[in-house]
Amino acid sequence: MATTVHEPPRIDLERLPGQASGNGDWRNLTPAGGDLRRVRNASPPPASTGIWVGLAAITMTFAAFTSALIVRQGAARDWQHFDLPSILYLNTLIILVSSVTLEISRRQIAAFMTHSSARATGSNPTVPARFLYLTLGLGFLFVAGQTFAWLQLRSEGFKLATNVSYSFFYVLTVAHALHLLGGLGGLVRVIGKLHTLTLRRSTLNATALYWHFMGGLWLYLLLLLWMKL
């Protein structure tokens, strides 16, 4: 006598309760309207999210340095005041100009990216990287100016361990210069992606935001050093 083996019932995971409503079920990532593009567009780009996290961390770091400087100055009887190297004021002008050139470059690149006709025809368009290179050069010039200031103080006998006030000067300016080198690396990356036509606007905006933040941070540090040292 033949025995009929019935196939076990299949559970359709796509039709579990809650799927039709567009809400509530853990598997349902699509909104009620069914347009997944709205979910993607609503989420911020990874570059934008990462840059804000990085800027928050840098802000907390320099806030801790500022707090330590103020507390140490109030408790120290051997605190020694000194005149800041004049090259620092020239560096301030340099980094402010670099923010202007970067903003000009950002707007030129944004306009270039919106006009895709040159890419569609297969021609080799001229990318507007002139002001990016200028910003990069000004950034390296700023770092060179900072190095000159450190060497100038060292030649005058003011080293890291000479006095606690000089220690704070070196710590703050060197920390800022190291973070600025990160911005220079970001500019180099933007230039490379621009020439290969793979640059995303979110990457450009995140790099520009970081660079402008470095300029504002330097203005704050210069005022702090001028007032406390």
Model pLDDT, residue 174: 95
Residues 6+ apart with CB under 8 A from 167: 160, 161
Q: Quick one: pLDDT band at residue 134, thresholds 50, 70, 90?
A: very high
What SS3 class is residue 3?
coil
Cβ atoms of residues 69 and 228 within 8 Å: yes
What SS3 class is residue 31?
coil
75 against 205, higher pLDDT: 205
Place of tokens 């100009």: 97
Model pLDDT, residue 44: 54
Cβ atoms of residues 210 and 218 within 8 Å: no
Instruction: Please write the tens of the pLDDT for every residue from 178-216.
Output: 999 999 999 999 999 988 888 888 899 999 999 999 999
Model pLDDT, residue 18: 43
CA 54 to chain CA centroid, Å, is: 7
Q: State the pTM of this model.
A: 0.75
Domains and CATH numbers, the chain: 45-74+86-116+127-228 (1.20.120.80)
Instruction: Please write the tens of the pLDDT for every residue from 28-61.
Output: 434 444 443 433 344 456 667 888 899 999 999 9
Q: Quick one: pLDDT band at residue 87, thresholds 50, 70, 90?
A: very high
Instruction: Please write the tens of the pLDDT for every residue from 90-133.
Output: 999 999 999 999 999 999 988 888 775 445 555 556 778 899 99
Cα separation of 139 and 129, whole Å?
A: 15
| Number of Cβ within a 10 Å radius of residue 3 | 4
Place of tokens 């806030």: 63
The residue count of the chain comes to 229
Half-sphere exposure of 32 toward its Cβ, with a 13 Å CA cutoff?
4
Model pLDDT, residue 4: 53
Cβ atoms of residues 106 and 205 within 8 Å: yes
Rounded average pLDDT over 16-29: 42
